[in-house]
Amino acid sequence: MKPENARGVPLKDEDLKTGKVLTTEWRVKADYAWDCGIAIGRYLDGLKEGKIMATRCRRCRRTVVPPRVFCEWCFKPMDEWVEVRDTGRVNTFSVSFYSWDMTPLEKPEVPAIVEIDGCSPGVGFMHLLGEVGDNLEEILRRVKVGMKVRAVWKPADQRTGAITDILYFKPEEE
Amino acid sequence: MAYQRVAIVGAGITKFVRRAQETGKELAAQASKMALDSCGMTMKDIESVSLGTAPDAFDGVHMKGEYLADGAGATRKPFMRSFVGGGSGVYAIIHGWYHVASGHFDTCLVVAEEKMSSTMPHPQAAFNTIYDQFTERPLGVNLLWIFALEMNRYMQVHKIPLETIAQVSVKNKLNGLDHPCHQEGITPGPHLTVKDVLESEVMVWPVYRLMVSPVSDGAAALVLASERVAKRMTDKPVWIEGVGWHLDTSYWTNRDLYYPRYVEYAARMAYRMAGITDPRKEIHVVEPYDPFAYKELHHLEGLLLADKGEAPRLLEKGVFNRDGELPSCPSGGLLGVGNPISAAGTMKVAEIFWQLRGEAGARQVARPVKRGLAQAWGDLMQVGTVVVLGR
Amino acid sequence: MRERVAIAGVGCTAFASVSPGSSYRELTYEAAVKAYEEAGIEPKDVDSFVCTSEDFLEGYSISDEYCNDQLGAVLKPAQTIPGDFLHSLAVGVMHILTERFDVVVVQALSKASNMKTIPEMINFALDPVLNRPLDITAYAVAGLEMNRFLAEGKATREQCAAVVVKNKANALKNPSAGYGASITVDHVLDSEPVAEPVRLLDIAPYADGAVVMVLCSEKLAPSLTDKPVWITGIGWSTDSPTMESRDWSEAVAVRLAGDMAYKMAGITCPAKEIDLAEVNDEISFKELQHLEALRLFEPGQAGRATEDGKTSLGGTLPVNVSGGGLGVGHLFECSGAQKVLELVLQLRGEAVSRQVQGAGVGLAQAWRGIPTTSAAVAILSA
Amino acid sequence: MGKIDRVGRIRTLHGDMGVWHKYTFGLAGERFFRALAEKGVLLASRCEACRKTYLPPKVYCPACFAELTVWAELPPRGYVETYTFLYEDLEENRLTEPVAVAFITFPGVDGGLVHRLGEVRPEEVCSGLEVEAVLAAERSGGLQDILYFRPSRE
């Protein structure tokens, strides 16, 4: 039966910790100062002012967020900036019990894709939902795909021009 | 048809393990040696090397392709790395196919390697860096989010119960027990049931722990040869009849995740080249990419091997079992064998290679097989890479 | 000679030390619009898109995710090659030679200015067990190689400095080169030592920029351009990547890549058949080392030829008339693209103030930089 | 969409790739650095087919993939093949004292080691200089177990 006598020496986590096997560590300093450019620059400026800025292509009749200077469908420059509303509908969501580096969370986070009102159908961005409960059962009871939500902003003086200027999206009565 | 016909003549693989003592170079060398020995070739017979390996952030070496070069036998040879995220494991074969089909070379060694265990504090932390630094990374996103969001969308649109999706884990993890290289500890035992899967820890709902393929170290390799050389090397060459790959927009939050159009376009490209008009009849065994349980069903629909939303029902009818009409993931897949990302894709191509030659032993599917398909997926729900093989 | 591949359109942004007004997407978009305009095509006419990038240079993992929208490559065959632009060019050539594709777009860009810790990034490419614990700047590799190159009498220290003087003077005549200067050999020799004998002015400064090119099959070329430039030879190779098992003075991978490209192009005597060359000069001595590995000069002769002006504009074999990396700036993975771009302008006779008269066959050679031994070569002809 | 034509409108986002790494030494590295730590000796591995003796040793031959089981201790004396003097550290700070680094080969061996040179005046350093390894008193297993190479004493 193929494959035969495959190689590979498995180790246990302790082997690395107890020094049964030699190891060496390296903390790379990989620092960057990314140029935001035209589209994302204006987008982050807008967030600082409590606005969600989108761009619109007239030929494709598309208003999209996050904004870009080109329409990737027809490859022409976008025609105009459009301020869209800070409300929308949940396209999909999940309930995360782990942080970005797999440390368990006491209170679960609720990531979601929010379709933003004022953009083309199905167009939105990823953010977190809030005020929807802090255990799985309650969250699954209160959060539904298609549900209307509204952005909750940081106070103006604490906003820096970042996606985190929006704290989360909370449910909105119909 | 102006290009040379190309066949796979040899395959090699290492065990998939959670933490390997070997360096990435040593893993690549072990897989390459097995592939060459399996068809009685040496590096003198190899004219070019195509390496597939995923983010440098895992092995912890910048320009990882260069670091791995002497592990892939590339010293003083034409050597090129290709990188399409998780799809690299199958794309590296497509890349190798172009090396030979274009007439540049008569042989090409395809090597795929991944050593995720070097990443601290946890390999998942490296996945945070695949997200857009301006609009997504500040949210503290981890890889499971995007899968859970897609899985939930797929389940909602087609009303698929969790129990059905859990069956994929059971099928693949039990299949994986028959694979000599399967990773220890990822399958509780031969008695695994849907109930066990749904009682495992909820990590990022609706993804349960036993629905996620493990983090792994491992390597796999294949030897490609032109028709002239292949016929000299083996009496059972497996022809690369179709190759296809497509990349969708990176604005993944502007597309509906319930259906992988990029996989469909990649499959159509490969089918057109292989002269396949009715894939559901002409493909006899398939290895779709299954990093998460739902993803196998999601990809079977993208590969046009099931209508949209139909894959779960075919699963329940046993169509995708090893003794079914269209065996899917007979190897055990990423869920059952392990997921060293790019090496996992190449493991799938190797599985189809062994199945078509009738050498899969305990994993050999019941029905006769003449044509098989291997597929990988990658990036932000964005790239499909497909290879159609035939005897 | 098998079927040839044509370059039907080229587009590039300015090459500058910083590019804060554009994001990496906008930089590529600007170059793509120019290239598609020149070839008279739209993204839907393109069969395959080959992008070039390295994760840790861009600052995010799987840079393949973010390469396609700005090329219009949505739901298209697109892939990323972590190599130099010349490696991606080779992929484009292979795609077209299988006759499954007629039009292929190749892209590369540099956002070097966005990296805050470049030496640590280069060091991060060293072996974590055998080299990194020394905690030294990766320019040590260049120092060890240059010292060996000089010790074996391949060239004198002054001849290496003459390369810097020549390339920075050439750059003064290239409007898109940012690092032109009128300096002397002594300026170079007296600059601050970094990894003796490598000094500050021996090292090409970094630059930003993007290049996009449209390749097409021989039969389609007439319908896309009336001034095609033909890729008649392509080759690439890698020597052992480790410090401990490399040849310290000869660029073996460059020789092998060159021979592969010459074989495909049917070139038997490169020194006579190549009219001009754009070769990697990331560190001054590398230009001389690469010229000899490419058989354009006999071993030990490239240095003297540079001093005698043979490799200057107007010489018998002009080298790096664009200014090279020392004059235009080192563009990381996009370096090869700047070299091919120069050859396209020269072979079309559009190089104005720095036109090489009667340029018919040009060579572009790339090296992936410290600490690699990977090289690629392309032969272009009018 | 217009270009940014005022420096005040330029926006930059600072960030990093927030991972660090813990590496194993591999099968060959484990054996090499254990021998160095415990017995203070350098090992090389031999490929008969290619007639090559690799330093640092490998468990496979990069040229023919043969498994290398013949390992041997090297005489403690090596020779400087090439060297350089570093005037900058990793963070591009100027060094007050240049650091000498060399590639050291050993008789009958393919390869060698890159390491610092110590106890030597810059003008003494030359190709062919015979050197010996100066080992740390307390050895934990790794390249740091060699402090530097110095001109050999006898």
Instruction: Concatenate the DSSP letters of all residues of C47-79 into one string.
Output: SEEEEE--HHHHTSS-GGGGSSGGGT-TTB-EE
pLDDT tens digits for B37-92?
999 999 999 999 999 999 999 999 999 999 999 999 999 999 999 999 999 999 99
Yes or no, beta carbons of B84 and C236 under 8 Å apart:
no
Per-residue confidence (pLDDT) for residue B2, from 0 to 100:
78
Is residue B165 within 8 A of residue B148, CB to CB? The reply is no
Nearest to C12 by CA among C168, C214, C313: C214
Q: Which amino acid is at D7?
A: V
Interface contact A29, partner C, CB < 8 A: yes
Is residue A90 within 8 A of residue A128, CB to CB? The reply is no
Interface of D with B (CB under 8 A): 13, 15, 17-30, 59-60, 62-65, 67
Interface contact A105, partner B, CB < 8 A: no
- For B287-309, letters b (16+ CB in 10 Å) and e give bbbbbbbbbbbbbbbbbbbbeeb
What's the rounded Cα separation, in Å, for the pair B49 and B105?
A: 10
pLDDT range class, residue A26, cuts 50, 70, 90: very high
Token digits for C209? 């920029």
Residues of chain C with pLDDT under 70: 1-2
Q: How many CB pairs under 8 A join A and B?
A: 191
What's the rounded Cα separation, in Å, for the pair B101 and B97?
A: 6
- Topology of the domain comprising C138-201+231-381: Peroxisomal Thiolase; Chain A, domain 1 (3.40.47)
Closest Cα in chain A, distance from residue B102 (Å): 30
CB atoms within 10 A of CB D48: 11
Per-residue confidence (pLDDT) for residue C2, from 0 to 100:
61
pLDDT tens digits for D37-76?
999 999 999 999 999 999 999 999 999 999 999 999 998 8
Per-residue confidence (pLDDT) for residue C1, from 0 to 100:
44
Per-residue confidence (pLDDT) for residue C183, from 0 to 100:
98
- Write out chain A residues lying below 8 Å of B141, CB-based: 100, 111, 126
Query: On the CB side of A26, how many CA atoms lie within 13 Å of its CA?
Result: 27
- In a mutagenesis test of the A interface, which of B14, B133, B136, B145 is the best target, namely the one with the most A β-carbons within 10 Å? B145
For chain B, what percentages of helix, strand and coil (3-state, to nearest 5) are there?
Answer: 40, 20, 35
Is residue A35 within 8 A of residue C20, CB to CB? The reply is yes
Question: Helical H runs in chain C?
Answer: 24-39, 55-58, 85-97, 118-123, 139-151, 157-172, 185-189, 221-224, 252-265, 270-273, 284-293, 302-307, 324-328, 335-347
Yes or no, beta carbons of C64 and B83 under 8 Å apart:
yes
Average pLDDT, chain D: 95
For chain C, what percentages of helix, strand and coil (3-state, to nearest 5) are there?
Answer: 40, 20, 40
- Topology of the domain comprising C5-116+207-229: Peroxisomal Thiolase; Chain A, domain 1 (3.40.47)
pLDDT tens digits for D15-40?
999 889 999 999 999 999 999 999 99
What's the rounded Cα separation, in Å, for the pair D85 and C140?
A: 8
Give partners of A (≥3 CB pairs < 8 A). Answer: B, C, D
What's the rounded Cα separation, in Å, for the pair C182 and C166?
A: 9
Hey, is B264 helix, strand or coil? helix
CA C347 from centroid of its chain's CA atoms: 17
For chain D, what percentages of helix, strand and coil (3-state, to nearest 5) are there?
Answer: 15, 45, 40
Give partners of D (≥3 CB pairs < 8 A). Answer: A, B, C
Average pLDDT, chain A: 96
Nearest to C41 by CA among C70, C8, C67, C68: C8
Instruction: Concatenate the DSSP letters of all residues of D97-145 into one string.
Output: EEEEEEEEE-TT-EE-EEEEB-S--GGG--TT-EEEEEE-SS--SSGGG
Yes or no, beta carbons of D11 and A161 under 8 Å apart:
yes
Domains of chain D plus CATH, in order, are 24-151 (2.40.50.140)
Token digits for A107? 């209170």
Is residue C177 within 8 A of residue C339, CB to CB? The reply is no
Residues of chain B with pLDDT under 70: 1
Using the Cα atoms of residue B347, residue B351, residue B352 and residue B353 in order, give the sign of their dihedral.
Answer: positive
Per-residue confidence (pLDDT) for residue C99, from 0 to 100:
87
Task: Find the closest chain C residue to B242 by CA distance.
Answer: C100
Hey, is C112 helix, strand or coil? helix
Ramachandran sector of residue B115 (left: φ over 0; alpha: ψ -120 to 50; beta: rest): beta
What's the rounded Cα separation, in Å, for the pair B344 and B349?
A: 9
Q: What residue spans in chain C does CATH classification 3.40.47.10 cover?
A: 5-116+207-229, 138-201+231-381
Yes or no, beta carbons of D19 and B26 under 8 Å apart:
no
Contacts of A56 (CB under 8 A, 6+ apart): A62, A63, A64, A78, A79, A80, A81, A82
What's the rounded Cα separation, in Å, for the pair C178 and C176?
A: 6
Provide the ipTM: 0.97
Question: Helical H runs in chain A?
Answer: 13-17, 37-48, 136-142
Strands A148-153 and A166-171: antiparallel
Per-residue confidence (pLDDT) for residue B1, from 0 to 100:
61
pLDDT tens digits for B314-336?
999 999 999 999 999 999 999 99
Nearest to C176 by CA among C22, C70, C17: C17
Yes or no, beta carbons of A92 and B17 under 8 Å apart:
no
Is residue B371 within 8 A of residue B284, CB to CB? The reply is yes
Token digits for B373? 């398909």
Task: Find the closest chain C residue to A34 by CA distance.
Answer: C114
Strands C103-111 and C48-52: parallel
With a cut of 90, say whether residue D2 has pLDDT above it. no
Domains of chain B plus CATH, in order, are 6-120+215-390 (3.40.47.10)
Domain boundaries, chain A: 37-171
Is residue C88 within 8 A of residue C364, CB to CB? The reply is no
Contacts of B248 (CB under 8 A, 6+ apart): B255, B261, B262, B381, B382, B383, C74, C75
Closest Cα in chain A, distance from residue B256 (Å): 7
Using the Cα atoms of residue C303, residue C309, residue C313 and residue C316 in order, give the sign of their dihedral.
Answer: negative
